[in-house]
């Protein structure tokens, strides 16, 4: 019998809001997910979300 892998909290949040919002909202969303993962002690997931946030940060500043 195989174990079913449950989605992590951050993964569930991304699935609920896959492409919702403008770049600033997306930036804030991914920063929050990174903060949650840092508090949980998962530094790899936190870095992943920080990199996503950085992408939207750059999007905000190159759109001028």
The single-letter DSSP state of residue 22 is -
Q: Which helix (H) or strand (E) holds 2?
A: none
Cα 56 to Cα 19, 23, 31, 34, 36, distances in angstroms: 12, 5, 10, 14, 18
Contact 31, 53 (CB under 8 A): yes
Q: What is the 3-state secondary structure (H, E, C) of 30-47?
A: HHHHHHHHHHHCCHHHHH
pTM flag (> 0.75): no
Tens-place pLDDT, residues 5-62 = 555 665 665 656 656 788 999 999 999 999 999 999 999 999 999 999 999 999 888 8
């Amino acid at each position: 019998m195989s174990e079913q892998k449950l989605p992590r909290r951050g993964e569930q949040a991304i699935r609920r809001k896959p492409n919702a919002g403008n770049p600033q909202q997306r930036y804030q969303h991914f920063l929050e997910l990174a903060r949650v993962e840092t508090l949980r002690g998962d530094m790899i997931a936190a870095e992943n979300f920080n990199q996503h946030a950085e992408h939207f940060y750059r999007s905000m500043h190159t759109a001028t």
